[in-house]
Amino acid sequence: MVSIHLFAGVREAVGCERVEAEVAAGTPLGDLLARVAADLPALGPWLARDDLLLAVNQEFRGRDHLIEDGDEVALIPPVSGG
Amino acid sequence: MGEWVRVQEEPFSVGAEIERLCRVSRTIGGIATFIGVARDLSAGRPVAALHFEHYGAMAEKELATLRDAAMAQFDLIGLSVVHRVGDIAIGEPIVAIVAAAAHRGPAFEACRWMIDELKKSVPIWKKEIGPDGASWVTPHP
């Protein structure tokens, strides 16, 4: 089981701040997210953006990063701090 | 919370950060600050208040990574970064970057670099609340 954390516009579009998903160890992050988006269509447009950053266990990662059980995934839309 | 990097709801005191840095070393000869403030206008639209959301653990971690990079890259003696989250009224400070060095050059340069990098990668999001509703500064797809 991995938890996928959603923030700001993504969180509001999907309507929740966290999604849980079962995943086989070694699944690429991009594949996991595509599968989750099949159940949550509101995620689709966000995943299609090339400015959406991804993090695994609070480190920025690419879509080819391999997921392990218990990982904390986060979808990070363009940030606007400062 | 880190000693030199903090994300917090409470207001901060720039004076307190300067005093803390001054206690680090007697070799400090200059301190530069950048303070980001909540403005009442965004892209021509009035803004009544701001709300900041953050990714708890990662925001401080990313700020700490940037601070480490700044300490390595500029000739600094100390660097403190505080970012507020939650509701912030117009005119209130949002972020403070306080850089201490032996000389002014690195202190000014580090402030500029730090705020530019913070705006690129630290997972904090701003929502602008105006008379016509609220919207994330992040454009929607």
User: Per-residue pLDDT tens for A4-35?
Assistant: 999 999 999 999 999 999 999 999 999 999 99
Of the candidates B94, B127, B138, the beta carbon closest to that of A78 is on B138
How far is CA B82 from each of CA A26, A52, A76, B79, rounded to the nearest angstrom?
A: 37, 25, 21, 10
In one-letter notation, the amino acid at residue B24 is V
Q: Identify whether A22 is part of a domain.
A: yes
Q: Does A17 touch chain B (CB under 8 A)?
A: no
Q: Does B118 touch chain A (CB under 8 A)?
A: yes
Q: What is the pLDDT of residue B140?
A: 53
Of the candidates A74, A77, A82, the beta carbon closest to that of B94 is on A82
Taking the C-alpha atoms of residue A46 and residue B126, their distance in angstroms, rounded to an integer, is 18
Q: What is the pLDDT of residue B132?
A: 86
Q: Identify whether A66 is part of a domain.
A: yes
Q: How confident is the model at residue A57 (pLDDT cuts 50, 70, 90)?
A: very high
Q: Identify whether A45 is part of a domain.
A: yes
Structural domain harbouring A71: 2-76
Q: What is the DSSP string of B38-73?
A: --SEETTEE--EEEEEE-HHHHHHHHHHHHHHHHHH
Which residues of B fall within a CB distance of 8 Å from A9?
A: 125, 136, 138, 140
Which residue in B15, B41, B37 sits closest to B89, CA to CA?
B37
Instruction: Give chain A's domain count.
Output: 1
Which residues of B fall within a CB distance of 8 Å from A49?
A: 141
Q: What is the pLDDT of residue B58?
A: 97
Q: Does B130 touch chain A (CB under 8 A)?
A: no
How far is CA A27 from each of CA A2, A32, A33, B2, B13, rounded to the nearest angstrom?
A: 11, 7, 10, 34, 46
Consecutive 10-residue runs of chain B (141 residues): their mean pLDDT?
91 98 97 97 93 96 98 98 98 98 98 97 96 81 50
Q: What is the pLDDT of residue B16?
A: 98
Mean pLDDT of the residues in chain A: 96
Answer whether B54's CB lies under 8 Å from B82's CB: no
CATH number of the domain to which A26 belongs: 3.10.20.30
Residue with structure tokens 């917090």? B8
Q: What is the pLDDT of residue B108?
A: 98
Taking the C-alpha atoms of residue B125 and residue B127, their distance in angstroms, rounded to an integer, is 7
Q: Identify whether A19 is part of a domain.
A: yes
Q: Identify whether A52 is part of a domain.
A: yes
Q: Identify whether A81 is part of a domain.
A: no
Q: Identify whether A53 is part of a domain.
A: yes
A–B: how many Cβ contacts below 8 A? 76
Report phi then psi at B101, rounded to 5: -150, 170
Percent of chain A surpassing pLDDT 90: 100
User: Which of the residues A46, A51, A58 would you substitute to probe the B interface, choosing the one with the greatest number of B C-beta atoms within 10 Å?
Assistant: A58
Residue with structure tokens 């840095």? B21
Q: Identify whether A82 is part of a domain.
A: no
Chain-centre distance of CA A23, in angstroms?
A: 13
In one-letter notation, the amino acid at residue A11 is R
Tokens of B73: 């890259």
pLDDT tens figures, B53-87: 999 989 999 999 999 999 999 999 999 999 999 99
Q: What is the pLDDT of residue B2?
A: 79
Q: pTM for the whole thing?
A: 0.94
Answer whether A77's CB lies under 8 Å from A8's CB: yes
Q: Does B134 touch chain A (CB under 8 A)?
A: no
Q: Which domains does chain B have, with CATH numbers?
A: 5-130 (3.90.1170.40)
